[in-house]
Amino acid sequence: MTPFTYTAKPSRVVFGVGSLQFLGREIEMMGGKRALVLATPGHAESARRVAAMLGPRAVGVFAEARMHVPIETARAAREEARRLGADCAVAIGGGSTVGLGKAVALEAEGDFAILAIPTTYAGSEMTPIYGLTEGGMKKTGRDVRVLPKTVLYDPELTLTLPLPLSLTSIFNAIAHACEGLYADDGNPITALMAEEGIRAAASAIPRLSREPRDLDARCDALYAAWLCGSVLGSVAMGLHHKLCHTLGGTFNLPHAEVHTVILPHVLAYNAPAAREAMSRIGRALGTGSQSASMGIFDLARTHGAPTALRDIGMPEAGLDRATDLAVQSQYPNPRPLERGAIRELLQRAFDGTRPG
């Protein structure tokens, strides 16, 4: 076996239907005394419910989280946390809310813990990765201070997530695992988590399409999000995530939808240089002899997820700029970054062409 290094992340996970009931216990266990509850405007009611559950341990609610964490929103949340004397945050929602909690923790004085309550399948809660958007550019980084200390996974909280967003959020999770399988710093442990995460996610998609309130399918999807997010937090990501951050931050495209559209085309781009990874992805998808890229594309198309950038707000005139941004600096990826091929990749993604 090839030598490898695996660093386990110091987080606590409480998983199961009804696990929200343990919120008070978990805040106490991590030492939180003055919690600021974070959410998007759409989850403001959930945030108030969480604050009520915490009683005097909740010092306020900040329900202004935004997609891609604009720097202005991050600054406002940081100021609110300082004003209230918060020593921790409870982030209920998806990647936007968890990302805002990370932005606050990044510049907090002293120890500032995050308790995450995911209601989507983004997986951000399992990573030390943060992202901030300023001047139309999304920049990411890694810092162990932003890793949530505790994560409460309660599948019941995802039952009301609309089916279209549920599907794209699951594809977002799958993307983390796919890139983890060909990461240059991957290892057998993350590969096991990645393949199992893809399998669980792919099995949940058709069941949720038939019955969006299938609680067992919601459990599998959230389990997949945990595994795939753990992979994302453990290894370096490649071309797929670079393109998604570029498209999302620069053109303000919806995060999960971008991942869904771009993934099969990046897999087709990388396939010649990552055959073992593609084999494992195909095995997890259960697509038989079909390629990993076509398997992902067909899974999305069959169940009504978006397959074209033009359908989610991308201007065709921006494809050249997106290509330039994607190749302006080198980063690990199985296949070298080739401007012409990446421009063609983006055109196929824009048109919604099935990978060949």
Which residues in 29-39 are b (16+ Cβ under 10 Å) and which e? ebebebbbbbb
Residue 349 is predicted with a pLDDT of: 98
Here the tokens at position 131 are 């992202």
What does the alpha-carbon distance between residue 168 and residue 305 come to, in Å, rounded to a whole number?
Answer: 6
Q: Return the half-sphere exposure (C-beta side, CA atoms, 13 A cut-off) of residue 271.
A: 20
Residue 65 is predicted with a pLDDT of: 97
3-state secondary structure of 92: strand
What does the alpha-carbon distance between residue 208 and residue 224 come to, in Å, rounded to a whole number?
Answer: 14
3-state secondary structure of 13: strand
What does the alpha-carbon distance between residue 87 and residue 202 come to, in Å, rounded to a whole number?
Answer: 39
Assigned CATH class of 163-351: mainly alpha
Here the tokens at position 178 are 């796919």
3-state secondary structure of 70: strand
Q: Are 331 and 242 in contact (CB under 8 A)?
A: yes
Helices 215-234 and 188-210, interaxial angle, to 10°? 150
Between strands 113-118 and 88-93, the pairing is parallel
State whether the Cα torsion 39-44-49-55 is positive or negative: positive
Q: For the chain, where do the domains classified as CATH 3.40.50.1970 start and end?
A: 12-158
Residue 289 is predicted with a pLDDT of: 62
DSSP H or E run through 36: strand 35-38
Radius of gyration over every alpha carbon of the chain, rounded to an integer in angstroms: 19
Residue 89 is predicted with a pLDDT of: 98
The pTM for the full model equals 0.94
What does the alpha-carbon distance between residue 195 and residue 199 come to, in Å, rounded to a whole number?
Answer: 6
As to burial, measured by CB atoms within 10 angstroms (0-12 exposed, 13-18 middle, 19+ buried), residue 340 is exposed
State whether the Cα torsion 150-156-160-166 is positive or negative: positive
Domain 12-158: which CATH number of 3.40.50.300, 3.30.300.20, 3.30.420.40, 3.40.50.1970:
3.40.50.1970
Q: Are 285 and 299 in contact (CB under 8 A)?
A: yes
Residue 15 is predicted with a pLDDT of: 98
What distances in angstroms separate CA 333 from CA 117, 200, 236, 271, one per listed residue?
32, 25, 9, 11
Residue 329 is predicted with a pLDDT of: 83
Nearest to 153 by CA among 20, 54, 12, 8: 20
Q: Are 131 and 99 in contact (CB under 8 A)?
A: yes
Residue labelled with tokens 């950038």:
309
Residue 2 is predicted with a pLDDT of: 80
Residue 23 is predicted with a pLDDT of: 98
Q: For the chain, where do the domains classified as CATH 1.20.1090.10 start and end?
A: 163-351
Q: What angle do CA 81, 82, 83 make, to 5 degrees?
A: 95
One digit per residue, pLDDT tens: the chain, 356 residues? 788 888 888 889 999 999 999 999 999 999 999 999 999 999 999 999 999 999 999 999 999 999 999 999 999 999 999 999 999 999 999 999 999 999 999 999 889 999 999 999 989 999 999 999 998 888 889 999 999 999 999 999 999 999 999 999 999 999 999 999 999 999 999 999 999 999 999 999 999 999 999 999 999 999 999 999 999 999 999 999 999 999 998 999 999 999 999 999 999 999 999 999 999 999 999 986 679 999 999 999 999 999 999 999 999 999 999 999 999 988 899 999 999 999 999 999 999 999 97
Q: 137 pairs with which residues across the strands?
A: 134
Give the type of residue at 26.
E
